[in-house]
Chains A and B, each alone.
Chain A
Amino acid sequence: MVRRTIEEINDKIRDGSVNVVTAEEMTTLAQELGVKEAAKQVDVVTTGTFGAMCSSGVFFNFGHSDPPIKMQKVWMNDVEAYTGIAAVDAYLGATQLSETKGMEYGGSHVIEDLLQGKEIWLKATAYGTDCYPRKRIDTSITLDDMNTATMVNPRNAYQKYNSATNCSSKTIYTYMGTLLPNCGNVAYSGAGVLSPLSNDPGYRTIGIGTRIFLGGAQGYVVSEGTQHSPSGGFGTLMVTGDLKKMSREYIRAAAFYKYGTTMYVGLGIPIPILDDEIAKATAVSDADITTTVYDYSTPRRNKPALRDVTYEELKSGMIDLNGKEVRTSSLSSFYKARQVASELKAQIKKGKFFLSLPAQTIQAQGSSKPMKQTLEMPLIKDVMAPVATITLGFSVHEAAKKIIQDKFNHLPVVDENSRLVGIVTSWDVSKALALSKSDKLAPIMTRNVITVAPDDPADLAVRLLEKHNISALPVIDKDKKVLGIVTGEGLSKLISRGVQP
Chain B
Amino acid sequence: MKLLLRFNPEIIKKPIIAETVLETGILLDIERARVEGPKGEIVLNVPDDNCRQVVDILKRKKVDVVRLDVPITKDEENCVHCGACVAVCPVGAIAFEYDWRVRMDEKACVQCGNCVTACPVKVIRLSDN
Contact = CB atoms under 8 A, between A and B. Distances in A.
Interface of A: 50, 52, 173, 177-178, 180, 184-187, 252-257, 262, 264, 317, 327-336, 338
Given A50-B82, A178-B114, A335-B99, 11 more contacts: A252-B121, A254-B120, A255-B122, A264-B121, A327-B86, A329-B83, A329-B88, A330-B82, A335-B80, A335-B100, A335-B102
Given A257-B117, A333-B100, A335-B99, A178 B88 contact: yes
Nearest to B114: A178
30 contacts: A50-B80, A52-B120, A173-B117, A177-B84, A177-B88, A178-B114, A178-B117, A184-B88, A185-B87, A186-B87, A187-B87, A255-B120, A255-B122, A257-B117, A257-B118, A262-B120, A264-B80, A264-B121, A317-B86, A317-B96, A327-B86, A329-B83, A329-B84, A329-B86, A330-B84, A331-B82, A333-B81, A333-B83, A335-B80, A335-B99
Contacts of B87: 180, 185-187, 327-329
Interface of B: 80-88, 92, 95-96, 99-102, 114, 117-118, 120-122
Contacts of B102: 335
A334 B100 CA distance: 6
Q: A interface, by DSSP: helix, strand, loop or mixed?
A: strand
B30 to A, nearest CB: 21
Nearest to A326: B87
Contact of A253 (B81, B88, B121): B121
A50 B82 CA distance: 8
A264 B82 contact: yes
Contacts of B95: 317
B80 A252 contact: yes
Contacts of B88: 177-178, 180, 184-185, 329
Contacts of B114: 178, 180
A413 B92 CA distance: 38
A336 B81 contact: yes
A185 B83 CA distance: 12
A382 to B, nearest CB: 37
A370 B73 CA distance: 44
A184 B86 CA distance: 12
B116 to A, nearest CB: 9
A328 B88 CA distance: 9
Contacts of A264: 80, 82, 120-121
A52 B120 CA distance: 9
A399 B120 CA distance: 47
A170 to B, nearest CB: 14
A252 B86 CA distance: 19
A422 B3 CA distance: 38
B118 to A, nearest CB: 4
A50 B84 CA distance: 13
B29 to A, nearest CB: 22
Contacts of B81: 333-336
B80 A336 contact: yes
A481 to B, nearest CB: 34
B120 A330 contact: no
B47 to A, nearest CB: 28
A412 B120 CA distance: 39
Contacts of B83: 329-331, 333-334
B98 to A, nearest CB: 11
Contacts of A252: 80, 121
A356 B80 CA distance: 30
Most buried by A among B95, B96, B118, B121: B118
